[in-house]
Amino acid sequence: MVYKRIRVSSALSKTGLYDLDYAYNPYAGCHHGCRYCYGRAYTRYREVAEAWGEIVYVKENVVEVLMEDVLRARRGVVGVSTITDPYQPIEAKERLTRRGLEILLDLGFEASIQTKSPLVLRDLDLLSRYRDKVDVGLTITTLSPEVAAVIEPRAPEPGSRAEALRKLSVEGLSTWIFLGPIMRGVNDSPEVIEEIVALASETGSKLYYDFFRMKRGLTAAMSAVKDRYPNAMSSEREWRMRVAATVEKLCERESVRCEPAFPARERGKGLLEHI
């Protein structure tokens, strides 16, 4: 893994995502290097996109710039983060996510955090203090470590994410699960979905789901997944409708609030990172 330090002129960017006003992305690129990650299609940094999961830029002055940005911005909901995992390993040392959250929450912004890492628990003191202004989502595509090793080989194993979700929930945080991307023949079976819905039910989490979509730069990254799961990249409408019906039915049975992650109007937009 190569880390490079860069300086930025903007830290709080507007986002087209329907439930977020801004994005705060303290890193560009992501150590987790998930095979299906759309981040490589949306980052503005070409080197990072071309070597996704191998190069991470650390925005060394992002906290200072955020301090200036927040003085000019109307209060709103900030996605932390929208195109990188804010709790990837380098955050343990750099603390750019933590320091950014302190500024945002102290100054009256709300934060919606999405991660695959139990490192988020390090900040439980801060998150608990602002529990009415924060929600935390854990991405859980599968609870099988074997499947996760194929599709997201460097992300924390799914059991540790489930455990983090439980701890956050016990602390009274508003939590959610991002079940996505659902890929054909990989994590689309009723049994896989049922396990994740059960976790949502246990933790009182809302569940968002989304299906795999082909994006720029994914063909090579997905080849290892395709070798193991030949249909992983096919996403026909009929299949999506069938699986969506399964997700919705299981959620209804368990009284889990559930909805598609992205409304149709947002699909296909370059809506993630602008900084």
The minimum distance between CB 108 and ligand SF4, in angstroms, equals: 27
Choose the stretch contacting ligand SF4; rule: CB under 6 A; options: 33-41, 57-65, 125-133, 197-205.
33-41
Binding status of residue 39 toward ligand SF4 by CB under 6 A? yes
The minimum distance between CB 169 and ligand SF4, in angstroms, equals: 21
Q: Which of 21, 69, 85, 273 binds ligand SF4 (CB under 6 A)?
A: 85
Q: Which of 70, 155, 177, 199 binds ligand SF4 (CB under 6 A)?
A: 155
Choose the stretch contacting ligand SF4; rule: CB under 6 A; options: 14-22, 27-35, 64-72, 221-229.
27-35
The minimum distance between CB 49 and ligand SF4, in angstroms, equals: 12
Q: Which residue bears the tokens 């896989």?
A: 192
Q: Which of 17, 20, 28, 30 binds ligand SF4 (CB under 6 A)?
A: 30
Inter-CA distances, 210 with 17, 47, 102, 124, 128, Å? 14, 28, 30, 28, 28
Q: How many residues bind ligand SF4 (CB under 6 A)?
A: 11
Distance separating alpha carbons of residues 19 and 264, to the nearest angstrom: 14
Choose the stretch contacting ligand SF4; rule: CB under 6 A; options: 11-19, 31-39, 65-73, 119-127.
31-39
Inter-CA distances, 104 with 11, 95, 109, 257, Å? 11, 14, 5, 28
Binding status of residue 33 toward ligand SF4 by CB under 6 A? yes
Residue number with CB closer to ligand SF4 (17 or 70): 17
DSSP 56-110: EEEETTHHHHHHHHHHHSPP-EEEE-SSS-TTSTTHHHH-HHHHHHHHHHHTT-E
Contact predicate 122/92, CB 8 Å: yes
Binding status of residue 37 toward ligand SF4 by CB under 6 A? yes
Contact predicate 103/148, CB 8 Å: no
Residue number with CB closer to ligand SF4 (152 or 188): 152
Distance separating alpha carbons of residues 13 and 41, to the nearest angstrom: 17
Q: Which of 13, 15, 43, 84 binds ligand SF4 (CB under 6 A)?
A: 84
H-helix or E-strand containing 209? strand 206-211
Q: 3-state SS of 229-275?
A: CCCCCCCCHHHHHHHHHHHHHHHHHCCCCEEECCCHHHCCCCCCCCC
Binding status of residue 273 toward ligand SF4 by CB under 6 A? no
The footprint of ligand SF4 (CB under 6 A) covers 30, 32-34, 37, 39, 84-85, 116, 152, 155
